[in-house]
Amino acid sequence: MKSASHQLFFILFTLFTISAAAIDILDRTQNITDGQTLVSPSGIFELGFFGSGLPTKRFLGIWYKVTPNVIVWVANRDRPLNDSSGVLAINDKGVLVLLDRSTNVIFSSNSSNAINPTVQLLDSGNLVLKAQSTTNDPSNNTFIWQSFDYPSNTMLPGMKVGKNLKTGFERSLSSWKSSDDPTRGDYTYSMDTQGSPELYMRNLGRPVYRTGPWNGLRFSGIPEMTTYENMFDFNFTASSEEITYGYGDKQGSSMSRVVLNETGDMQRLVWDQSTQSWNQFWSAPKDQCDFYAKCGPFAACNANDAMVCSCLKGFNPKSQAEWNMRLTAEGCQRRTQLNCSNGDGFYVLKGVKLPDTHNATADQSINLDRCGNKCAGDCSCTAYASADIREGGTGCVTWSGELTDLRYTDGGQDLYIKVAKSELDTSNTHKTHVVVIAAVTTISILLLLSVGFLFWRKRRAMRLVGRTFFLRDPELPAFDLETVMLATGNFSKANKIGEGGFGDVYKGKLQDGHEIAVKRLSENKYSSQGLKQFMNEVILIAKLQHRNLIRLLGYCSRGKERMLIYEYMSNKSLDFFIFDERRRTFLNWKMRLDIILGIARGVLYLHQESRVNIIHRDLKAANILLDGEMVPKISDFGTARLLRGDEPEINTQTVVGTRGYMSPEYAMDGKVSVKSDVYSFGVLLLEIISGERNEGHLLAYVSIRIIKQNAINLSNYTNSDIIFQAWNLWLEGNSHKLLDGAIGGPCPASEILRCIQVGLLCVQECPDDRPEMDSIVLMLASENIILSEPKKPVVCTSVGPLRNGVLNGMNESHSVNHLTITSLEGR
């Protein structure tokens, strides 16, 4: 039986029950009961009671007012109420409490006595208990307790995860038990403060994923963080008092949140005001190499390889038999043991997420050279790296014992690995470089490479037929011809799914069940350009890894056979849908916008985020493939060009591309830059919106010299009716009329107009006027960014049209090669 004081306390709560009107501050004379809410000052967040999948279970939580089903914090997640009798109030000791029908304390702030305490829900989503200062200044308040210190499964801007080193207090996320049950689930996301601090996702205490250590700019395993600086402020603190990480939204950016869901996925979600929905901006684990210790100790994971795991230089699999069966958890072991007294050496593994730092040692006071000396003099040290990549690399992290959870990643760091001296004399088979090589050896290799390159340039492709000459890229596995023939049914007609200038495309299935697409270079395509395209595609795409790029699994080169092996795309290419009267109705507006954004992010990756900066040069609907979930994948890198260093553009004497997609400066003067791809993207965007084909004929490898000698005006190869239609409708204020009439369902007008405006900005005549791809992604993803007015596109004149496949004014001997470059239809 409860005491009389408890009964009286509950009666007082009932007498002072607030009305249902929304308030944002609660004082000691008020309370919140089931059905009533507390609303933040600007109406962004709301606090109240909600039910789980079981109607009898009630919880106190905070949610977005625009999406009440998105709960960001739960007070009593481990002690649900059994009915709707819960009461939230401030008791006579100034403590925020949640009481049940019997006045049992279900949740408490555990705070101490405070003067005139109040509870407020802030616009940040933070529920705070404040005490008024003794100065009687209502604006001078101190937080006694805040919900941000006790996260549930959601991280909001302004929140921190990490550890207070003085008190030992930790903030971490924990998943829900299920999508409709907020009780504590199996997954946690917390800061490991040992060694070099990093964030870990764990399943029942077992590591599942980690971010890699903080390197001054970002987490080592999330290099793409640097491309998000226009939207987010990332805050990492490592001091004598705390080690914490948090983020904030940039002013003018959309709302965002980071969620650890019940299936073990980290997701960064951004609010789309136009569609009133949350869109996924980033997620992890993103591929199989992100899963903790996928390859075991002393091995590295490469998601682009058919065999994703490989032992580090100087190491062999612990069990070759298991390794052959792709059972890699046991990892690798040294071929030759270290001999500290006799001297060991280091080699550098480039472009990796640094290994697990839980048992590593960090020292910010020394540079990389001293770090190397320190590791060399420590017999237990197995590797070292810079702790901070800024200013060329500062600080020091050293590892002792096993190196675990290594993966190759774009924008990764250098890791210096200790091996026996004898191992430094062996050939490099694992994407590594010896740190110190004799100068004479370097010069000799460079001379040999130069001679070999000149020799290759002079050889004609026809003389290579029947030979096994091929540039073997260590990052790309070679497939046996027998394996490919078995997968494709010996290149049977039944498995043929595409045909182009490169050759034929076949669908295949490997013995492990994986479906593949095989591009086979036809014998009659063994021109110098045909082989050049083949090798160009291998070299470039092997270095790329992105959700919106086609994944090259490997190549096959034997005798006359040259083949590229890709992942299979079940929904063929984008033009298969948008230019077909029946299939185009399947693409509603949201799907089209998702495809536009996906292509934009893929091009952004090529231009700025990948290990190498690439200009695609042939962006068009036929080169956008769609997987089973209609995710767009940019394909066909046979004509792509690599930007080296800080060069803003490339001057070429050969024009290659498709009529209607080429920028004016490229078609007329052979000037290629990232803005050339921006132009092509703009045309493609307008195609997707309108559903109208930009009729184009491929213009492949036409010499600038021939163009100028024949006075050919190629401006008609740079524009199309769709651009002028979009421009004229824009001037008339009728841009909405450009929208494909086959689109069903909701079509937000503001969103459509924004996309059309972005498209027109992309096809402006002057390259400097066109936006960069990072700005384009932001403009498409956020309605808070003000767009500039587009300028009139270049005027087209119908000079030098195609006539029977030949440019007017061009001698037959200079006819255009109508090559359909590597169009992977139906893969």
Report pLDDT digits (tens) over 215-266.
999 999 998 888 787 789 999 999 999 999 999 998 888 899 999 999 899 9
Identify whether 369 is a catalytic site residue. no
Report H helices in 715-763: 721-732, 749-762
- Contact of 266 with 187, CB cutoff 8 Å: no
Percent of the chain with pLDDT over 90: 46
- Same-domain status, 513 and 540: yes
Measured between alpha carbons, how far is residue 55 from residues 59, 75, 82, 87 in Å?
11, 18, 9, 18
Strand-strand pairing, 413-420 and 344-353? antiparallel
The candidate with the shortest Cα–Cα distance to 193, out of 245, 252, 141, is 245
Alpha-carbon distance of 257 to 157, in angstroms, equals: 7
- Same-domain status, 81 and 22: yes
- Same-domain status, 458 and 425: no
CB atoms under 10 Å from CB of 378, counted, come to 15
- Same-domain status, 660 and 553: no
- Side-by-side strand order, sheet with 58-64: 38-39, 45-51, 58-64, 71-74
Query: Tell me, what's the pLDDT at 539?
Result: 67
In a domain, 271, yes or no: no
- DSSP element (H, E) containing 323: helix 320-324
Which CATH number is 639's domain given?
1.10.510.10
Query: Tell me, what's the pLDDT at 536?
Result: 64
Token look-up 């800061």 returns: 191
189 burial (CB, 10 Å; 0-12 / 13-18 / 19+) is buried
Token look-up 């009932």 returns: 14
Point out the domain boundary residue: 568, 596, 621. 568
In a domain, 643, yes or no: yes
Query: Tell me, what's the pLDDT at 654?
Result: 61
- Same-domain status, 423 and 300: yes
Which CATH number is 544's domain given?
3.30.200.20
Number of domains in the chain: 4
The rounded radius of gyration (Å) of the Cα atoms in the chain is 31
597 pLDDT higher than 60: yes
In a domain, 193, yes or no: no
Measured between alpha carbons, how far is residue 757 from residues 293, 752, 780 in Å?
46, 9, 10
In a domain, 253, yes or no: no
In a domain, 270, yes or no: no
115 pLDDT higher than 50: yes
- Identify the three-state secondary structure at position 246: strand
Calculate mean pLDDT across residues 566-570: 90
* Tokens at 258, concatenated: 């980071």
State residue 665 phi and psi, 5-degree precision.
Answer: -65, -25
678 pLDDT higher than 80: yes
What is the chain's length?
827
Query: Tell me, what's the pLDDT at 533?
Result: 66
- Same-domain status, 467 and 540: yes
463 pLDDT higher than 70: no
In a domain, 165, yes or no: no
Contacts of residue 130, defined as CB under 8 A and 6 or more positions apart, other chains included, come to 114, 117, 118, 119, 120, 141, 142, 143, 144
Point out the domain boundary residue: 388, 407, 436. 436
- Same-domain status, 538 and 591: no
- Same-domain status, 471 and 406: no
Calculate mean pLDDT across residues 597-617: 88
Average pLDDT, the chain: 80
Candidates 388, 414, 473, 618; catalytic one: 618
Contacts of residue 35, defined as CB under 8 A and 6 or more positions apart, other chains included, come to 20, 48, 49, 84
- Side-by-side strand order, sheet with 118-121: 25-26, 118-121, 127-132, 141-146
Of the ranges 136-150, 658-672, 767-781, the best mean pLDDT one: 767-781
List the beta bridge partners of residue 207: 202
Alpha-carbon distance of 235 to 240, in angstroms, equals: 16
Alpha-carbon distance of 555 to 565, in angstroms, equals: 6
Alpha-carbon distance of 495 to 493, in angstroms, equals: 5
- Same-domain status, 33 and 98: yes
Which CATH number is 45's domain given?
2.90.10.10
In a domain, 164, yes or no: no
Instruction: Give 130-153 pLDDT, tens digit per residue.
Output: 887 544 554 445 789 999 999 999
Of the ranges 165-174, 530-539, 708-717, the best mean pLDDT one: 165-174
Instruction: Give 402-432 pLDDT, tens digit per residue.
Output: 999 999 988 889 999 999 988 885 434 333 3
Which of residues 656 and 690 earns the better pLDDT score?
A: 690
Instruction: Give 14-25 pLDDT, tens digit per residue.
Output: 433 433 445 778
- Same-domain status, 675 and 788: yes
Grade residue 436 by pLDDT with cuts at 50, 70 and 90. very low
- Same-domain status, 548 and 617: no
96 pLDDT higher than 90: yes
- Same-domain status, 384 and 520: no
The candidate with the shortest Cα–Cα distance to 290, out of 26, 545, 624, 663, is 545
295 pLDDT higher than 50: yes
* Tokens at 687, concatenated: 């195609």
Q: 468-486 as b/e, with b when 16 or more CB fall inside 10 Å?
A: eebeebeebbbbeeebbbe
Point out the domain boundary residue: 150, 167, 183. 150
Grade residue 129 by pLDDT with cuts at 50, 70 and 90. very high
Report H helices in 655-748: 664-669, 674-690, 704-709, 721-732
Token look-up 């409709």 returns: 180
Measured between alpha carbons, how far is residue 246 from residues 130, 174, 727 in Å?
23, 16, 44
- Identify the three-state secondary structure at position 175: strand
Calculate mean pLDDT across residues 351-375: 93
- Contact of 820 with 501, CB cutoff 8 Å: yes
In a domain, 250, yes or no: no
Range of the domain at 384: 289-436
Alpha-carbon distance of 13 to 10, in angstroms, equals: 5
